[in-house]
Amino acid sequence: MLHNQRQKGKITFDSKLGGVVDSQTITDAAERHPRAIRDLERRATHAASRPLAQALTDAQTAALRQWTLATRPGHTTPVGDALRTLIDHVRRLIRDAFTGRGRQAQRDAERAAHNAAQLGARQAAAIAAAMRGQPTPPVQPHIGEDAQAACDHIPAAMQDEQSRALALLTSAGLTAMGMAGLTAAFQRARRAVGRITTGIAVAIGSAAAHGARLVARTLGTGVRLVWVAEPDACPACRAYAGHHIRPGGLFPGGLSLAPQRTVFTAPVPGPPRHPHCRCALIPWSPAWRLDGMPLPTLLRRRARTARRS
Ligand SMILES: [Zn+2]
């Protein structure tokens, strides 16, 4: 008997009907979670990385203009004092492009992580309610330590890329490489944009998993957290599908369906297995009655067979 209903892609439950839901329906609903995480990640990373990307583009345009002005007719590279003045100017342009961006990116990441924790908790609560046939007690979502650490690391990571970019701007380097040396410094600086994107992606994945963890804790003893692989997951993540742990526990390290490429062998608290991993955790208890194949078995089997569109 199937009494659950799907509305606008979400699973809901009808307390008047009660009854037993089947594991197929739960798996379908759980496998829609990664899409919501991905959408949140896309919006957040785009918004947070754009100011630095634009500032660096503007700085590079200004630097190239200065280069042209400082280069005497018949030369391809400024020389002597003109070169030293140009280097000081370009360094200032790069520093200005970065000013305030690290803290801003950190705050953007924290906000995105907070939204992700709410999303993870909401999804976990809905799916637990469908399985248990009763409402899930409300929780106060929190982003968790891993997400906070990912947010906190962003300014230092950006600072590192900025320092490396500035270190490329030397008289010897620019004399040898010409304008390509200038371009190389800006390419290096742009890696900081990637650091923002990666940091936010990790913060979002960690916070979403933490939201689910908090829900699982409120549901009493014996409740587990099951790994749901995103529908086009990598071989490493697919190997985790259907594995389950107690809240606060760790998944084994080093699992992969392509073990020759496995590099991370330390146990993990949950997704993200890697930056931009959108796998999810959902609460589950062997004591909850579900029709059909056991939920962990079904998740595991789906991740190991041909992926659906
Ligand atoms: Zn994953």
pLDDT computed for residue 19 by the predictor: 62
Render pLDDT for 251-283 as a digit per residue (tens, 0 to 9): 999 999 987 776 778 999 999 999 989 999 999
pLDDT computed for residue 6 by the predictor: 44
DSSP run (H or E) holding 227? strand 224-228
Give me the residues paired with residue 291 across strands: 22
Q: d(Cα 173, Cα 180) in Å, to the nearest integer?
A: 10
At which residue do the structure tokens 């998740």 appear?
299
270 Rama sector, left if φ>0, alpha if ψ -120 to 50, beta otherwise:
left
Alpha carbon of 12 to ligand 1 centroid (Å)? 25
Render pLDDT for 153-184 as a digit per residue (tens, 0 to 9): 999 999 999 999 999 999 999 999 999 999 99
Report DSSP letters for 112-131, one per residue: HHHHHHHHHHHHHHHHHHHH
Give the model's confidence band at 5: pLDDT under 50 very low, under 70 low, under 90 confident, else very high: very low
Alpha carbon of 182 to ligand 1 centroid (Å)? 38
The pTM score is 0.90
Alpha carbon of 155 to ligand 1 centroid (Å)? 25
Alpha carbon of 242 to ligand 1 centroid (Å)? 12
Pair 281, 270: CB distance under 8 Å? yes
CB proximity list for 102: less than 8 A, separation 6 or greater: 154, 155, 156, 158, 159
Pair 207, 148: CB distance under 8 Å? no
pLDDT computed for residue 260 by the predictor: 79
Alpha carbon of 91 to ligand 1 centroid (Å)? 39
Render pLDDT for 44-94 as a digit per residue (tens, 0 to 9): 999 999 999 999 999 999 999 999 999 999 888 999 999 999 999 999 999
Alpha carbon of 212 to ligand 1 centroid (Å)? 15
pLDDT computed for residue 7 by the predictor: 45
HSE-CB at 88 with a 13 A cutoff on CA atoms is: 6
pLDDT computed for residue 8 by the predictor: 43
